[in-house]
């Protein structure tokens, strides 16, 4: 028997990206794609299933043998609740989020992060989580934008299932710092400039093609242990991985998992990104929205007396905020006074400072 794994709400813009779907050109037939298999498969067994009972609802901050039992079951299924130590911490709560979204079909922004008695009873049923693209000869990664869950499979067995956060589909403009050797910076020094873009995570079929250990600064901010699969879009560790999509296009996973994620995947592994609207094969290797230079960005240096004014540019997609107050610093009186005024105009940045690579500036970067 196969049990449906429910997913709710879309997580991406199916019509976006700079590559057109295969059926948009005149005279070109629709791409034939496989239908997604159900993620949850019940194991048929004639042996009786022995279950334990919870006498309380488990949530963050609790401790006990019942918490350890939940952690062990989540680990057996492929989730990463942290050490099986009987303490219900952040890692355990995030794993419960992923379980609720992937297995129970809870909407991506509505998991409770709690384990009730009924939920624990169902969690002990004999079932496994299987890939939507089964292929026992290769390892691959599946990203479910509609559920905000990522899963790494080795020989069709899940070795890491985690809560994640993808692009929020918003327009943005901000000052960025790009590390040497990163996309759009072939030089030897960090590059600072203003860029604008759209926080879009395209659905499609890709391969991991580059990875960097440690912290990197991309066009869109800091990334921990990024593994790239679509130009500047990468799976990477982050401090802030909220329930809702919040990145500039990359796939944020909890920071403690990023080093192990790099160990579990190999360059050349396939990546299937499901947007909840069409199958990944429909899009193929759909490109992201490439960033562009912010025409309103400018910066200069100043000395002696400095006045700095920051103006938030209007946006149709990001709510405006109050402009940063002008700050004036004046040296003690002197015979001669020199005054320099610096004006910086930027567009409002997302509330979360943690960013995630999402493309080049102006045009697709060459190589990298």
Assess whether pLDDT exceeds 80 at residue 230: yes
191 assigned to some structural domain: yes
> What's the pLDDT band for 98 if we cut at 50, 70, 90?
very high
147 assigned to some structural domain: no
Does 268 lie in the same domain as 182?
Answer: yes
Does 171 lie in the same domain as 93?
Answer: no
Q: What is the extent of the structural domain holding 20?
A: 2-138
305-341: pLDDT as tens digits: 444 443 334 333 334 444 444 444 444 444 444 444 3
> What's the pLDDT band for 346 if we cut at 50, 70, 90?
very low
CATH of the domain at 267: 2.40.440.10
How many whole angstroms separate alpha carbon 93 and alpha carbon 71? 10
321 assigned to some structural domain: no
Asked whether 99 and 74 are in contact (CB, 8 A), the reply is: yes
Does 185 lie in the same domain as 100?
Answer: no
* pTM of structure: 0.73
11 assigned to some structural domain: yes
Does 106 lie in the same domain as 187?
Answer: no
Report the alpha-carbon angle 25-276-26, nearest 5. Answer: 5
Does 287 lie in the same domain as 192?
Answer: yes
Give the count of domains, the chain: 2
Q: How many CA atoms lie within 13 A of 89 on its CB side?
A: 10
HEC readout, the chain: CEECCCCCCCCCCCCCCCCCCCCCCCCCCCCCCCCCCCCEEECCCCCCCCCCCCCCCECCCCECHHHHHHHHHHHHHCECCCCCCCECCHHHHHHHHHHHHHCCCCCCCCCCCCECHHHHHHHCCCEEECCCCCCCCCCEEEEECCCCEEEEEECCEEEEEEECECECCCEEEEEEEECCCCCCCCCCCCEEEEEEEECCCCCEEEECCEECCCEEEECCEEEEEEEEEECCEEEEEECCCCCCCCECCCEEEEHHHHHHHHHHCCCCCEEEEECCCCCHHHHCCCCCCCEEECCCCCCCCCCCEEEEEEEEECCCCCCCCCCCCCEEECCCCCCCCCEEEEEEEEECCCCCCCCCCCCCECCCCCCC
How many whole angstroms separate alpha carbon 19 and alpha carbon 13? 13
Assess whether pLDDT exceeds 90 at residue 41: no
251-278: pLDDT as tens digits: 999 999 999 999 999 999 999 999 999 9
When pLDDT is averaged across residues 117-145 and rounded to a whole number, the result is 94
Does 206 lie in the same domain as 87?
Answer: no
Look at residue 335 in the predicted model and tell me its pLDDT. 42
Look at residue 340 in the predicted model and tell me its pLDDT. 40
Does 191 lie in the same domain as 117?
Answer: no
50 assigned to some structural domain: yes
Domain C-terminal end among 276, 293, 310 = 293
77-87: pLDDT as tens digits: 999 999 999 99
Assess whether pLDDT exceeds 80 at residue 102: yes
Domain C-terminal end among 293, 328, 355 = 293
CATH of the domain at 80: 1.10.101.10
Regarding beta strands 233-238 and 251-254, do their DSSP bridges make them parallel or antiparallel, or are they unpaired? Answer: parallel
Does 6 lie in the same domain as 129?
Answer: yes
> What's the pLDDT band for 43 if we cut at 50, 70, 90?
confident
336 assigned to some structural domain: no
Distances (CA, A) of 171 to 4, 314, 317, 350: 35, 11, 6, 9
Domain C-terminal end among 250, 274, 293 = 293
């Amino acid at each position: 028997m196969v049990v449906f794994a429910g997913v709710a709400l879309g997580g991406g813009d199916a019509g976006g990206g700079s590559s057109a779907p295969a059926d948009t050109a005149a005279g070109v037939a629709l791409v034939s794609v496989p239908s997604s298999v159900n993620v949850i498969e019940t194991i048929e067994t004639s042996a009786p299933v022995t279950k334990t009972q919870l006498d309380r609802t488990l949530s963050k901050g609790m401790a006990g043998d019942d918490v350890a039992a939940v952690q062990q079951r989540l680990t057996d299924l492929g989730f990463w609740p942290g050490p099986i130590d009987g303490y219900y911490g952040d890692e355990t709560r995030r794993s419960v989020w992923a379980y609720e979204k992937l297995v129970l079909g809870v909407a991506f922004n509505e998991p409770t992060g709690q384990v009730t008695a009924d939920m624990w009873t169902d969690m002990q049923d004999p079932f496994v989580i299987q890939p939507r693209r089964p292929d026992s000869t290769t390892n691959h990664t599946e990203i479910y934008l509609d559920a905000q869950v990522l899963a790494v499979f080795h020989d069709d067995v899940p070795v890491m299932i985690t809560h994640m956060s993808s692009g929020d589909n918003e327009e943005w403009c901000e000052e960025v710092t790009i590390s040497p050797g990163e996309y759009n910076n072939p030089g030897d020094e960090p590059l600072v400039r203003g860029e604008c873009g759209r926080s879009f995570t395209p659905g499609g079929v890709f391969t991991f093609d580059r990875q960097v250990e440690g912290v990197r600064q991309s066009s869109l901010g800091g990334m921990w242990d990024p593994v790239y699969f679509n130009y500047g879009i990468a799976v990477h560790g982050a401090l802030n991985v909220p329930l809702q999509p919040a990145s500039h296009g990359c796939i944020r996973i909890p920071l403690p998992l990023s080093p192990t994620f790099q160990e579990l995947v190999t360059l050349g592994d396939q990546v299937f990104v499901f947007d909840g609207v069409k199958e990944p094969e429909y899009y193929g290797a759909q490109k992201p929205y490439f960033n562009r230079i912010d025409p309103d960005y400018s910066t200069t240096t100043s000395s002696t007396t400095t006045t700095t004014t920051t103006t938030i540019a209007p946006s149709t997609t990001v709510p405006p905020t109050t402009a940063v107050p002008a700050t004036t610093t004046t040296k003690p009186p002197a015979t001669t006074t020199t005054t320099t005024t610096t004006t910086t105009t930027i567009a409002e940045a997302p509330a979360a400072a943690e960013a995630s690579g999402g493309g080049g500036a102006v045009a697709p970067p060459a190589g990298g």
